[in-house]
Chains A and B, each alone.
Chain A
Amino acid sequence: MSEQQATPPPELPEEPAPSMAARFALYQRAGGIITPVLTALLAFIIGGLVVLVTTGKNPLSTYRAIFDGTGLNWFFPWVRGQERMLAAEDLQQTLLVTTTLILVGIAVAFAFRCGLFNIGGQGQYIAGMIVGSQVGVWMPDLAHVPHMILAAGAGALAGAIWGGIAGILKATVGAHEVISTIMLNWIALWIGSYLVGFEGPLQDPAQVFVPVTEEVSQGAKLNVFWGEALAQGLHIGFFVAIAALIVFWLVLNRTTLGYEVRAVGFNAEAARYGGISVGRNYFLAMAISGAFAGLAGSVDILGWLFRVDLTSVQISSQIAFMGIAVALLGRNTPLGIFFSALLFGALLNGTSTRNLDPAVFQPELAGNLTLIIQGLVVLFVGADLLILYLWRARTKLRRKTAQAVTQS
């Protein structure tokens, strides 16, 4: 039986364009760990160039200053004493942000696996924040553990509903999820602003001059397990995030739902032929994705924000967009998401006003620098060819050196 045959592309009619999920699957195989590292490195290098060109400052010292604030040096065993304590505090802050980033990263990644681009993390996060905080405020006499679970769960549910709207629209009328989720972001932002604004329905009656909600009851707050509660140490939400990573993997790879989601993500037409309901999976994928983002919102509220105000609704929620870079850099895999969340968490913390010495680099500028780096990461990740090219260049180099060695 003949096996290898000449099958250059146009023998069969135009193949369907590879879905997003399929392209990222290609990535994972072609790159392994090297390519994400390379991508991040390239993005940081270009970011450094921007720093150099615009401010004339040495990018390395800027990055060094940023690094000093991240607390990552806590992992170095030779760091001791006072330095170690400071590093511990910094690391707690970093991991605090990492927790959120893991959850929003999972949200984006799960949707990507179904071939959907969920940019609506911001809106889903806001929904989670608001609902989570309200459930946290109600029932102040409820026991600790149930109250936490209820509040966090309610936040996740709110996010699921908000994401599910976009999913239903895609499933029924084929509305593109990029546009619908972005519109839902803005709608959530303004509804949220209305709710927590001056004399809004959720206004804290005790603080008439400040537009902010009531503080969540003590019983709903998440325990701090590392560091001082008063100094905002790391709360158990971190473990929720780790658990979420495991759940993410299990659902995708070990459940029938995950099988369906992956099938639809790789080839919706083949999935439909196989008997899988594509519309149902679009809805479920967006809802589950939204649930993770909503969970991020409620975990942040119950963990350290404790109140919702205009700033949280309009500014802090933007962290959800970072989920896109986190998911893409992490190649939509649990381990990848963890490390890229750590990377971006460190970046965010290291560039915050608290940690960055303005003499070395202005923190406001640093915030935008982070955005640029994010953009570069997403840009490079989106280019299979660039990565493949780098990969092949590397293998070719290896082969050449091996040849040179054998020849000499």
Chain B
Amino acid sequence: MAEQQVPVLELRGITKRFPGVLANDHIDFDLQRGEVHALLGENGAGKSTLMNVVYGLYHPDEGEIAINGKPVKMSSPREAIDHGIGMVHQHFMLIPVMTVAENVVLASEPRKGGVFLDYDAAISRVRDLAATFKFAIQPDARVENITVGQQQRVEILKALYRGADILILDEPTAVLTPQEADELFGILKTLQREGMSIIFISHKLREVLEIADRVTVLRRGKKIETVSSEGATREGLARLMVGREVLLRVQKTAGEPEQPLLVVEDLTVVDERGLPAVRDVSLTVRSGEIVGIAGVDGNGQSELIDALTGLRRVTSGKVVVGGRDVTMRSAHDHYDAGLGHIPEDRHLRGLVLDFTLAENLALHDFEKQPFARLGWLRPGRMIAWARRLLQEFDVRGGGPRTRAAALSGGNQQKVVVAREVARDPRALIAAQPTRGLDVGAIEFVHRRLVEERDDGRAVLLISLELDEILSLSDRILVIYEGQIVAEYGPDVTEEELGIAMTGGQVEQAAAS
């Protein structure tokens, strides 16, 4: 436990503004030597921003940073690294086409003759470093060929190689299975023993209680409180995070599934490299049920979704929507057959940000009546339709003629959901529907999905958040390396899911 000594890192009154948003509002924070300190808050609370300020990626508008009691100015990551701070970002800062060794030594490379890269030295140094901290890693493997868990370890190695004694991890378990998360915690404990001080950013209450010594809660850019993890409860932390009572599970009655509206038979899909990403997948979703697919990122979910929605060619197998075989048809035909698709990335796919809300809401049907006739658009109809939907779904921030980019993330997602649901689809595919949203928006989306289920639609939910899957699904399938390897009812435990998500072989989990 930390005594009252000089904190190894201290933040006083840090304030950071972005256009239209106060991301950090006079935040005070301190990190004691050798502790694991969690930074907790919902999506958009300002946690990543604060740490980016510490790492020199952002310049604070106000406030001070002190390392071991001495005030410092962090004007670039280089300086942060010099002060012993290492950061493992949520979205890895690794170069996929380069090897592990190249990524680790980048910008502090061992040299031969002044200008030449001493690659052999790089390899051996990385190997030695990994051995010291008991990682298993292949220094000359290309980053794009190793698993996500291993990539994360490369990120940690990067920090260690540069002599970090403060390590910041931003949502590190977002991409890991429960087993890999446990391994990570083991590594963190080892590091802590070696004297490292660790800041752990998360929005997951369970983990925070498991790994942290102290927890600081942020909400809407302000620091709410710092508590010791001893004696803290999930409910208590949730209340601090959100400011009110939070339902940790969605209220729903048991569903009554009827006829199958989405049937997939022996689906095989090949990816860009010619390797099968989805292998002989069969599943059925009936009207009135929510089927959730759980899995670690990169096990074929994206390819599966693309194939089911007509955005990718099917190598073999069948996809039937509402009784119509749409296997070889275009995305357009899928929508006409009664499919709805809430895509996993609303900026990349779900919305055309430069279109107005009215234009976005008509994206699937713009060439049909009433929006157009014989190739001629009728903007008046589009606007009327949009006005109705925006009101029904309580979308704030603009009207039918507002550009989609002007809305906040939560409202944008509401527009996407509104569009898909209002078309009255038979089957609805929701891919990561709550990514990057705050709790209020998440609640809205979850409630809406349950409503659609109750109205008799078939809902297929694909998500990386186990909480979401467990909370919403009537049946849970697990995908691993392109195959459905398990099926469970809604009362399965996270541990069981985690094992299935890694192929059901415990030895593999321990060895990797």
Contact = CB atoms under 8 A, between A and B. Distances in A.
Q: Shortest 4 CB-CB distances between A and B: which pairs?
A: A5-B44, A275-B332, A6-B23, A274-B363
Contact of B49 (A6, A254, A262): A6
A270 to B, nearest CB: 5
A29 to B, nearest CB: 8
B377 A5 contact: no
Interface string A6-48: 1110111111100001100100000000000000000000000
A270 B348 CA distance: 6
A10 B46 CA distance: 11
B71 interface: no
B221 interface: yes
A271 B360 CA distance: 10
Contact of B44 (A7, A255, A258, A271): A7
Contact of A8 (B49, B310, B350, B367): B49
B353 A266 contact: yes
A4 interface: yes
A256 interface: yes
B330 interface: yes
A272 B311 contact: yes
Contacts of B240: none
Given A3-B396, A16-B347, A21 B49 contact: no
Interface stretch (B180-188, B433-441, B454-462, B495-503): B433-441
Interface in A235-271: 253-259, 262-263, 266-267, 269-271
B375 A6 contact: no
15 contacts: A1-B410, A6-B221, A8-B48, A8-B52, A16-B348, A22-B353, A255-B375, A256-B366, A256-B367, A256-B372, A266-B352, A267-B348, A267-B353, A274-B364, A276-B332
B274 interface: no
Contacts of A277: 330, 332
A6 B20 CA distance: 9
Nearest to B23: A6
Interface string B395-435: 01100000000001111000000000000000000000001
A277 B440 CA distance: 36
A78 interface: no
Contact of B18 (A8, A25, A256): A8
B170 to A, nearest CB: 9
Interface residues of A, number: 38
Contact of A267 (B221, B334, B352, B364): B352
A110 B334 CA distance: 30
A22 B354 contact: yes
A1 B440 contact: yes
Contacts of A15: 347-348
A5 B441 CA distance: 12
Given A6-B18, A254-B376, A255-B377, A271 B352 contact: yes
B408 A3 contact: yes
B444 interface: yes
A258 B49 CA distance: 40
A273 interface: yes
Given A4-B20, A7-B409, A277-B330, A259 B366 contact: yes
Contact of A6 (B45, B341, B367): B45
B355 A266 contact: yes
B335 A6 contact: no
B343 interface: yes
B75 interface: no
A2 interface: yes
Interface in B295-348: 309-311, 330-332, 334-335, 341, 343, 345, 347-348
Contacts of B102: none
B362 to A, nearest CB: 8
Given A5-B408, A275-B331, A267 B354 contact: yes
Interface in A267-298: 267, 269-277
Nearest to B396: A3
A258 B379 CA distance: 13
A77 to B, nearest CB: 40
Contact of B363 (A1, A13, A21, A263): A263
Contacts of B410: 1-3, 5
Contacts of B377: 253-256, 258-259
A257 B375 contact: yes
A16 to B, nearest CB: 5
Nearest to A25: B354
Interface of B: 18, 20-24, 43-46, 48-49, 52, 58, 89-91, 220-221, 309-311, 330-332, 334-335, 341, 343, 345, 347-355, 359, 363-364, 366-367, 372, 375-377, 379, 394, 396-397, 408-411, 435-436, 438-441, 444
Contacts of B397: 3
Nearest to B441: A1
Q: Which of A2, A14, A274 has the most CB of B within 10 A?
A: A274
Contact of B349 (A14, A259, A270): A270
A227 B52 CA distance: 69
Contacts of B341: 273
Contact of A13 (B91, B375, B444): B91
Nearest to A253: B377
Contact of A272 (B220, B331, B359): B331
Contacts of B354: 21-22, 25, 266-267
Contacts of A22: 353-354
B52 A5 contact: no
A3 B411 CA distance: 8
A273 B350 contact: yes
Contacts of B331: 272-275
Contacts of B311: 272-273
B208 to A, nearest CB: 19
Given A255-B372, A266-B353, 17 more contacts: A1-B444, A5-B438, A7-B18, A7-B44, A8-B21, A8-B23, A8-B49, A10-B91, A12-B409, A21-B354, A259-B366, A259-B367, A259-B372, A262-B355, A266-B352, A266-B355, A273-B331
Contacts of B345: 12-13
A382 B353 CA distance: 21
A91 to B, nearest CB: 37
Nearest to A265: B354
Nearest to A251: B375
Given A5-B409, A263-B355, A269 B348 contact: yes
Given A10-B48, A257-B375, A273-B349, A2 B220 contact: yes
A250 to B, nearest CB: 9
Contacts of B48: 8, 10-11
B400 to A, nearest CB: 15
A3 B414 CA distance: 12
Contacts of A259: 359, 366-367, 372, 377
A5 B43 CA distance: 9
B247 to A, nearest CB: 15
Given A5-B409, A6-B24, A6-B220, A270 B330 contact: no
A6 B352 contact: no
Nearest to B90: A10
B297 to A, nearest CB: 11
A14 B366 CA distance: 29
Contacts of A7: 18, 21, 44, 408-409, 436
B193 to A, nearest CB: 31
Nearest to B372: A256
Contacts of A25: 354
A269 B353 CA distance: 12
A326 to B, nearest CB: 23
Q: Which of B351, B353, B376, B397 has the most CB of A within 10 A?
A: B353
B282 to A, nearest CB: 25
Contacts of B444: 1
A16 B410 CA distance: 19
B44 A11 contact: yes
Q: Which of B49, B350, B359, B363 has the most CB of A within 10 A?
A: B363
